[in-house]
Amino acid sequence: MGLEDHWKQPVDPGIIAKAIERVAEETIILGDDVANFLKSNIGQYLMARAQVQLVSNLQELTTETDLEKIRILQFNIHLAQAIPQWLHDAIESARSELELKYNQEGE
């Protein structure tokens, strides 16, 4: 049986359900870890540092004329915005999984 034929074989729905459940549980754990991290001194420091970096780079961008420096500033701005957003997304994904889990348990 070749690899292509292997993918055509039926998959046990129980295996799929267990995999989905495992991913959901891991998402919830990650969201909890992120929330705890953001409450920690290190998490608070890094979030504050990202905010300072964002403001500083935005201010510098308004007066910069060198294209390479503008690219660097834009990248730094993107990171200062993206990383907190990724952390927020992890928490929101966990909340969604928890809500789904509680709704399924209530049925």
Q: Does the pLDDT of residue 3 top 90, yes or no?
A: no
Please report, for the chain, the start and end positions of each structural domain, with discontinuous segments joined by +: 12-106
Interval 56-78: pLDDT, tens = 999 999 999 999 999 999 999 99
User: What pLDDT score was predicted for residue 80?
Assistant: 94
Which of 68-87 are b and which e, b meaning 16 or more Cβ less than 10 Å from the residue's Cβ? eeeeebeebbeebeeebeeb
Residue with tokens 């990202």: 50
**Among candidate residues 57, 50, 63, 48, the one with its CA nearest the CA of residue 75:** 57
Q: What's the token pair of residue 10?
A: 């039926």
* Residue at token pair 């927020």: 88
Helix or strand (DSSP H, E) at 8:
helix 3-8
Q: Residues of the chain with pLDDT > 90: what percent?
A: 75
